[in-house]
Amino acid sequence: MDFPLTFWDISLWLAVTAIVLLITSELISPYYGRTNLLINKKRLKNTALTVSILFLATVTIRIANIIINP
Amino acid sequence: MYQVKIGLIHIVITTMLTLGAIAILASIIYTSSILAFIGLGLIFWGAILTYVKPEEHIKKTILEAALSPSHSTLHQVIQELAYRGNATYLPPKYFKNPETTRIYIPKLKGDTTLPTPEQIQEHEHKLFAQNPQGITIAPPGLQLSKLVEKSLGTSFIQTDLNYLQQNLPKPLIEELEVAENIEIQVQEEKTGKKTNVEQTTSQPKSITVNVKITNSIYANLYRETETPTQSLTSIGCPICSAIAIALTKASGKPVKIKQIQSSEDDNTTEATYEIAEE
């Protein structure tokens, strides 16, 4: 009865989600021109950045692990 | 129709969150990473949809339909009362409350005399001024300018022209989405003024600000008004008016809209402002 995903699975999932969200937020940005989508673009952009930062944090933890336990 | 759409979104979000939770629980019971990924994905996208749900939006056609009668009424009032001068946006020093901004339109065409701050303060809440003869009205972009100030987190009084040039387009494009692009260019015209035979000093004569607005949501506002008067043109559309308010507050000087030009397809509007030297 353990949670089946490891830390690295979560990291990969965060990476894929971050890419999808970042591309979506760029495509619906007012500068790109698709402004007729009825969602709160600022919040989507913030979520995309948060998920990206979380992914980068997992990468930092991985690098730190490699350095500390070579 | 809109209510039906909102109801559908709620059903979709609830279903995604419920299925996601079930999938996560099943993944723990059956130790399945595929179920865990599916569950995480459903919960995440359900949460995202809840978080990025739109604020209140209205259709552009409804906005135009609601604005057009008041715009036409303003046009008629100015025309029938025969106020033919060019509108001037008065800076905060003309009013007791520094956050107030009003437009002054002189009675006579070509009259460039502005009343003194004391004269305006005497009749601050009155529409008509007698000496000099003119009318003071609330600008059409007043509320829009307050929304921009709220987005920027500062009052225009505490800013300057450089700040406006760099920061004013962003809230109008990204936050309020009233235009697709806004470019602001500030030009200072300097003149050589001879004070005596040998000394020549150079001092700013006037500041001209050119603003290019692309795909404004108010672009069709003037179509309803068949022949806009000079006074009405110098007041400007709500975006042009909001920019004029920002300029007059930031510079502390009266601002006039010298010219507003729209492209043939109404996609681009170019406005020229003059910050008057007192």
Alpha helices by DSSP H, listed for B83-141, are: 117-122
Answer whether residue B191 shows pLDDT above 60. no
Inter-chain contacts counted by CB atoms under 8 A, chains A and B: 59
The number of domains in chain A is: 1
Q: In what order do the strands lie in the sheet with B181-194?
A: B128-129, B134-137, B103-106, B88-89, B255-262, B268-275, B200-214, B181-194
Under 8 Å between Cβ of B216 and B68: no
Q: Which residue has the higher pLDDT, B125 or B246?
A: B246
Whether B25 has its CB under 8 Å from any CB of chain A: the answer is: no
Question: What distances in angstroms separate CA B228 from CA B70, B221, B222, one per listed residue?
Answer: 14, 11, 8
Are residues B202 and B242 located together in one domain of the fold?
yes
Q: Of B2-16, B82-96, B171-185, B241-255, which range is least confident?
A: B2-16
Note the maximum CA span of chain A: 51
Are residues B145 and B44 located together in one domain of the fold?
no
The number of domains in chain B is: 2
Tokens read off for B166: 């760099």
CA triplet B160, B163, B167: central angle to 5 degrees? 140
By residue range, what is the domain housing residue B176?
60-275
Are residues B23 and B141 located together in one domain of the fold?
no
What would the mean pLDDT of B260-278 be, rounded to a whole number? 83
Question: For residue A28, what is the nearest residue in chain B, using CA coordinates?
Answer: B174
Report CA dihedral (B245, B247, B250, B252) to the nearest 10 degrees.
-80
**pLDDT at position B196:** 44
By residue range, what is the domain housing residue A29?
7-68
Whether B8 has its CB under 8 Å from any CB of chain A: the answer is: no
Whether A5 has its CB under 8 Å from any CB of chain B: the answer is: yes
Residues 6+ away with beta carbon under 8 Å from B34: B27
Are residues B97 and B229 located together in one domain of the fold?
yes
**pLDDT at position A15:** 93
- pLDDT per residue, tens digit, chain A (70 aa), is 778 888 888 999 999 999 998 988 888 776 665 556 667 778 888 889 999 999 999 999 989 999 998 7
pLDDT band, residue B5 (cuts 50/70/90) = low
Alpha helices by DSSP H, listed for A1-70, are: 7-27, 41-68
Residues 6+ away with beta carbon under 8 Å from B12: B49
The answer to whether the Cβ–Cβ distance between A38 and B52 falls below 8 Å is no
**Is A47 within the bounds of a domain?**
yes
Residue B57 CB: number of other CB atoms within 10 A?
11
The answer to whether the Cβ–Cβ distance between A31 and B27 falls below 8 Å is no
Whether B216 has its CB under 8 Å from any CB of chain A: the answer is: no
Whether B97 has its CB under 8 Å from any CB of chain A: the answer is: no
Burial of B223 from C-beta contacts in 10 A (0-12 / 13-18 / 19+): exposed
Under 8 Å between Cβ of B197 and B237: no
Residues 6+ away with beta carbon under 8 Å from B106: B83, B85, B86, B112, B113, B132, B133, B134
Whether A36 has its CB under 8 Å from any CB of chain B: the answer is: no
Answer whether residue B205 shows pLDDT above 50. yes
pLDDT band, residue B245 (cuts 50/70/90) = very high
Are residues B23 and B117 located together in one domain of the fold?
no
Per the listing, tokens 């730190």 go with A64
**Is A1 within the bounds of a domain?**
no
Whether B175 has its CB under 8 Å from any CB of chain A: the answer is: yes
Are residues B21 and B140 located together in one domain of the fold?
no
pLDDT band, residue B6 (cuts 50/70/90) = low
Are residues B166 and B267 located together in one domain of the fold?
yes
Q: Of B47-51, B163-167, B181-185, B201-205, which range is least confident?
A: B201-205
Are residues B47 and B127 located together in one domain of the fold?
no
Question: For residue B56, what is the nearest residue in chain A, using CA coordinates?
Answer: A38
Tokens read off for B114: 């502005």
**Chain B contact set for A44 (CB, 8 A):** 48, 52
**Is A11 within the bounds of a domain?**
yes
Under 8 Å between Cβ of B223 and B69: no
Mutate: best of A2, A3, A25, A45, partner B, most B CBs <10 A: A3
How distant is the Cα of A31 from the closest Cα of chain B, in angstroms? Answer: 7
Report the alpha-carbon distance of residue B122 to residue A21 in Å, rounded: 57
The answer to whether the Cβ–Cβ distance between B33 and A17 falls below 8 Å is no
Whether A40 has its CB under 8 Å from any CB of chain B: the answer is: yes
Report the alpha-carbon distance of residue B9 to residue B11 in Å, rounded: 5
B28 closest CB neighbour out of A3, A35, A39:
A3
The answer to whether the Cβ–Cβ distance between B177 and A44 falls below 8 Å is no
The answer to whether the Cβ–Cβ distance between A31 and B35 falls below 8 Å is no
Residues 6+ away with beta carbon under 8 Å from B143: none
Are residues B25 and B127 located together in one domain of the fold?
no
Are residues B196 and B250 located together in one domain of the fold?
yes
Q: Of B2-6, B152-156, B191-195, B265-269, which range is least confident?
A: B191-195
Report the alpha-carbon distance of residue B182 to residue B251 in Å, rounded: 20
**pLDDT at position B225:** 57
Cα first-last separation, chain B = 55
**Chain A contact set for B32 (CB, 8 A):** 4
The answer to whether the Cβ–Cβ distance between A44 and B180 falls below 8 Å is no
pTM above threshold 0.90 = no
Tokens read off for B46: 């359900």
Are residues B85 and B37 located together in one domain of the fold?
no
Are residues B78 and B178 located together in one domain of the fold?
yes
